[in-house]
Structure 1
Amino acid sequence: MARGLLATFALVVLAAAPVAGASPTSQIATSPEVTGDARSFMVAAPNPLAVEAGLEVLRKGGNAIDAAVAVQMVLGFVESPETGIGGGGFLLYHDAASGRTTLFDGRETAPLAARPDRFRLLGQALPLWAAIPSGRAVGVPGLVAMLESAHRQHGTMAWAELIEPAIGLADQGVPMPDRLQTQIAEDGSLRVFSDMRGYFRRQSADVPPRLTNRELADTLRALARDGGAAFYQGVLAEALVDRVRTRRPLSGDMTMADLAGYRAVEREPVCGPYREWTVCGAPPPSSGGIAVLQILGMLERFPMADFGPGSAIALHLIAEASRLAFADRERYVGDPDFVDVPVSGLIDPAYLSARAMLIDEQSANPRALPGEPGRRALIREADANANYRAKTTGTSHFSIVDQQGNVVALTSSIEAPFGSRMMSGGFLLNNQLTDFSFDPLQDGRPHPNAVAPGKRPRSSMSPVMVFDADGELRLVLGARGGSRIIGHVVRTLVSVLDWELEVDHAIALPNFVHRGEVLEIEAGSPLRRHRGALEQLGHTVTEATMVSGLHAIERTPEGWRGGADPRLDGIADGD
């Protein structure tokens, strides 16, 4: 029976996989659909109801952290395939009064019973499709603890008041968002799992489709009343643990002690220069901040401003820098509480200058290899590892600036769209532990991203802030899309900082990313005209649907301008 269920799931997933160019989301807007300008404060998020919840908090005098709690809780209802309290995230916060920028790490952790061979069976790595809907894939959720920690330190409004908008929406119901309707229709695997049939498919069949979740509303009431304790202890925790441990096949090993022991971690962001700006992002266990800074550091050696947006040479240079950054990412980055990540060496300007020398403007490198910070730009091929593995493409991002100039960039996720296909308390459970390496060894030594008890899997989430020479915020942004996030963020940064595009126009440009194996260009976009030229340079080029979910805010002389990705349902708005 168990083997038959997994086989059915595999067939359905393969049958439901989107064909390049087939989805409406693959058609690129040539101009932004939704933008906003404001003098005082702004929210840019992937759903208008979430934006309005954040704006109402700001209008009442709340700050960016207060608004972030409200926005995130609403997104957990209306955008639940991507994010929610059953997952985790990274919150980058800039405090205007002190000038300090802080990263709150709410990444999920592996249960204490986890072992390095968690995703191996009979000596072989499990296929990703088999691991995703298993109990073994579910990490201890960190989003609630992260929000509570940030709010405890910086919030000004009552915690319970900030959750009220999400409770009301989940209780009363809303018209099902267009994006969610599309996701349900395109994901045939939802037919296999009872939780998905009973919640998503049943409600999408209504005429017109309407989304209601009274069980989630009750869960949120408990959070409003008792805070994080309601989630990590008591009946909600017991139900979550039971759901994970009774999943068949491949049941999980999470315990009540794992939940009770979870702690969000406050970390220093990773920051570095790019031309006249300072760019700050998420440190390990996210690879996003390092990779973004590495790519920018290599591109700084090239006159990117001379190359037009969407030009073949720009695509080539960004792709080559990305390949080198991803090679370093695979070799070095993991949870810093378990592995020694050479962060300063990886973003050292001298090291990046040497790495940039490996980029040939006339041809693609046959193979991108990692370097050795502080010693050499390229290690011997015999010692290199190129074990890139296709990753899923979920996640959500929003950006906020308040009237005092405080800033939030919050990227959150349950990993794959619809996570582990399990629900508890009205919310989806993550499959974030599939972000670990399925092979515990790399070149005969422990992989930096191998599974370990209590360890946080490596992430690609990339909330980013850019500051000018006076320390004033220039830009805040982030994206969705799994390991493609890094490329989406870099493309937008170059578009705004080098090509001087307004942020909304930059977001609407076609996507392209290189994660180490192939150069992906957004299906149906004008970039396909460069395919022949890029292949002549030595790139392997493919078209892919890429729903980047970029949401950003930039400073203008009049105040703020926001941009919402036209590939999603969101908006940017403010007062």
Structure 2
Amino acid sequence: MVALVALSLFIGASPVEANQPSIYSQMDVTHPVWAQHGMVASQERLASEVGVEILRRGGNAVDAAVAVGFALAVTLPRAGNLGGGGFMVVHLADSDQDIAIDYREMAPGRAHRDMFLDEQGDAVTELSRFHGLAVGVPGTVYGLDLALSKYGTMSLKQVLAPAIALAEEGILVSADLANSLEGLKKRLGRWPSTEKVFYKAGGGLYAPGDKLVQRDLAASLKRIADGGRDGFYKGETARLIAKAVQQAGGVMTEADLANYRAVERQPVRGEYRGYEVISMPPPSSGGVHIIQMLNMLEHKPMAEMGAGSAQSIHWMAETMRRAYADRSEYLGDPDFTKVPVAGLTSRAYAAKLLKGIDPSHATPSSNIKPGNPVPYESDQTTHYSVVDKWGNAVSNTYTLNFSYGSGLVAEGTGILLNNEMDDFSAKPGTPNGYGLIGGEANEVQPGKRPLSSMSPTIVMKAGKPYLVTGSPGGSRIISTTLQVIVNVIDHDMNVAEATAASRIHHQWYPDEIRVEKSINPDTKRLLETMGHKVSVKPSMGSTQSIMVTEEGLMGASDPRRMGAATLGY
């Protein structure tokens, strides 16, 4: 219990309080959490508490966001990470500045277009998902350090201290963590280095309430605290990661790690009913297509149609269908391919696409091809949102790709490695692990970043942050984030209502509207009479959202996943 006691002194909570389930298991999910000074919404309660204490101690939103990112690497190992990558959107109140930090993984120097094809030229999914070749050069440590050094106020040692304590002395295993480790034992247990970290001697399972100690991970975090990003990308940690990847059949080298760079990009911007939408640019496809879809929906009286009605779902599905078709053709790493951001996000292009939508009948996806957006411009992920008392805001989404990534822990580091190389197009027209079809714009090239759906987003009202949101969910991240925005702006929902509302998804192929079980049966029948194929499937997304109101901060963690918490002070 030493680490939990030490952490409780840092975050101001007892060990018992720190292990409580999400607040949404104890209250009506449509009631938001309120705070006056600062707020953190994340998918894991201990990490949220770490972030709130950073805010309470005078840190800004970036300080808290970086502390949460490192803490989640310990407490939410299936998605929180050091061995993955992601995107961060930051709003700085004093300078009225918006920044997009791209710390997406990169392909190793020896990667090549056909690396996941067999002798017949067919894609081999095992190679891009559960093999050393699946691992892209991680970006998380570089990205978090870049954000902190440029826009934070605290030292790396300060924001890493709680994560180190949690890893070194142990966390109490939650029911959520125990269930996920049990469910993926076959995949994770194939790697001895992973089994040693996440299972007991002899392969035994951790039960809820057991203590999980991650001393190798603590040592890796200490090297970062002492050496900054070089403590990860050079020296002992880099050597061990490269060795593990190569032993698993991959091609990553220590030089690939030393050469990694996160970059700052200009966010994509759009307007929707008087609100400004600021989101992540390519190699994220999320921001571009959220704005593209909002541009189409703005022509329609969504509020009059009503939330969850067959008519509103029809229009959302039809806009999604067209946006995802464009995604397959045009989106990729802007450092390697021309992405027509201006064309895709233009109102004129949205109006053109709208002309092809029948208000009463579904358009078969076979009749939809990528459009012509000119001109060109020269699932297991986790999202968290942070707002501080000065009006700074951070929206951050990062990932290992699949749950626990490739499943491989680099021996001696405690670090789970991603399988983000599956997000490239292994072969044009071949779906990836989320069923998304890609083209040549997203083919594998050395040093290239794979296309992503991660969509950290900040909605501005009168020039100030109003809604900070995002979600995990693979291909469904974009549609989930879109619906939270529409629920708040069009349907006048509070942030908790917008979070709990039923969700739908259409991604061009497969040609179906995916809906949650809460959909009204009458609505489903009406959609089917319009020609839609409607598939009822498990819940989608895990949004972590904060609204800034005149009364204070109002936040909500998604009730769809256990253990999430929105906390403030």
Taking structure 2 as the reference length, what is the TM-score of the superposition? 0.89
C-alpha displacement of 1:520 = 4.3
Question: Unaligned stretches of 5+ in structure 2?
Answer: 1-21, 431-437
Equivalent in the alignment of 1:484? 476
Does 2:561 match 1:573?
Answer: no
The one-letter amino acid paired with 1:395 is T
Deviation digits for residues 169-202 of structure 1, max 9, x if unmatched?
1112122123222222333433433334333243
Equivalent residues of 2:174, 2:208 under 8 A apart: no
Separation in 2, partners of 1:478, 1:437: 24
Percent of aligned pairs with the same amino acid? 39
1:510 is the counterpart of 2:496: no
Note the 1:257-268 alignment, pairs <5 A: 257-268=255-266
Q: Does 1:414 align with 2:400?
A: yes
**Aligned position for 2:338:** 340
Of the three residues 532, 539, 544, the one matched with 1:546 is 539
1:446 to 1:183, Cα distance in 2 relative to 1, 3 A? closer
**Change beyond 3 A, Cα 1:30–1:402:** closer
Once the 2 structures are TM-superposed, how far is the Cα of residue 446 of structure 1 from its aligned partner?
7.0
In 1, the alpha carbon distance for the partners of 2:527 and 2:229 equals 51
**Offset, 1:330:** 0.7
- Aligned residues of 1:80 and 1:427 also touching (Cα < 8 A): no
Matches within 5 A, 1:398-437: 398-424=384-410, 425-437=413-425
With 303-312 and 196-205 compared, the bigger mean Cα shift is at 196-205
CA distance in 1, matches of 2:293, 2:264: 25
Residues 210/158 of structure 1: CA separation in 2 closer, same or farther (3 Å cut): same
Q: Distance in 1 between matches of 2:559 and 2:237?
A: 37
Count of matched residue pairs: 527
Q: Is 2:197–2:414's contact at 8 Å kept on the other side of the alignment? A: no
- Aligned partner (choices 129, 133, 137) of residue 132 of structure 1: 129
Q: Does 1:557 align with 2:550?
A: yes
After TM superposition, the structure 1 stretch with the greater mean CA deviation from structure 2, 112-121 or 511-520, is 511-520
The amino acid that maps onto 1:71 is V
Q: Contact conserved, 1:286 with 1:458, CA < 8 A, in 2?
A: yes
Tell me, what secondary structure is at the counterpart of 1:499? coil
Pairing partner for 2:293 from 282, 292, 295 = 295
Contact 1:328 1:370 survives alignment (8 Å): yes
C-alpha RMSD of matched pairs (Å): 2.1
Q: 1:438 aligns with which of 417, 421, 426?
A: 426
Alpha-carbon distance in structure 2 between the residues aligned to 1:452 and 1:253: 13
* TM-score normalized by the length of structure 1: 0.88
| Residue pair 2:515, 2:534 contacting (<8 A) in 1 also | no
Q: 2: distance between equivalents of 1:520 and 1:179?
A: 29
CA contact (8 A) 1:37 1:561 kept: yes
* 1:373 and 2:373 aligned: yes
Matches of 1:28 and 1:176 in 2, distance apart?
Answer: 18
Distance 1:182 1:561 in 2: 31
Deviation (angstroms), 1:283 = 0.3
| C-alpha distance 449-54 of structure 1, shift in aligned 2 (>3 A) | same
Q: Deviations over 1:486-507 (max 9, x none)?
A: 0110111110010010011111
1:484 corresponds to which letter in structure 2? R
Deviation at 1:529, TM superposition (A): 4.4
The answer for unaligned runs of 5 or more in structure 1 is 1-24, 376-392
The separation in 2 between residues aligned to 1:28 and 1:499, in whole angstroms, is 25
* Counterparts of 1:496 and 1:543, CA distance in 2: 24
Shift in Å at residue 440 of structure 1? 5.0
Instruction: Please give the residue correspondences for 1:102-501 in structure 2 after superposition, counting only pairs within 5 Å.
Output: 102-187=99-184, 188-202=186-200, 204-206=205-207, 208-247=209-248, 251-367=249-365, 368-374=368-374, 393-424=379-410, 425-439=413-427, 447-468=440-461, 470-501=462-493
* Aligned partners of 1:34 and 1:572 also within 8 Å: no
The equivalent residue for 1:386 is none
The CA distance in 1 between the partners of 2:420 and 2:241, in whole Å, is 15
In the TM superposition, what is the alpha-carbon distance from 1:82 to its structure 2 partner?
A: 1.1
Distance 1:526 1:328 in 2: 28
Aligned CA distance change for structure 1 residues 122 and 96 (closer, same or farther; 3 Å)? same
Q: How does 1:23-172 map to 2 (within 5 A)?
A: 31-32=28-29, 35-172=32-169
Give the whole-Å Cα distance in 2 for the aligned partners of 1:374 and 1:572: 41
Counterparts of 1:520 and 1:432 in 2: how far apart (Å)? 26
Residues 440, 115 of structure 1: CA spacing in aligned structure 2 closer, same or farther, 3 A cutoff?
Answer: farther
Higher relative contact order (CA 8 A, sep 6+): 1
Which whole-Å CA distance do the structure 1 matches of 2:168 and 2:39 have between them? 27
CA distance in 2, matches of 1:536, 1:129: 40
Give how far 1:144 is off.
0.6
Whole-angstrom distance in 1 between the partners of 2:485 and 2:512 = 19
Cα distance in 1 between the residues matched to 2:482 and 2:394: 19
Cα distance between partner residues in 2 of 1:28 and 1:36: 13
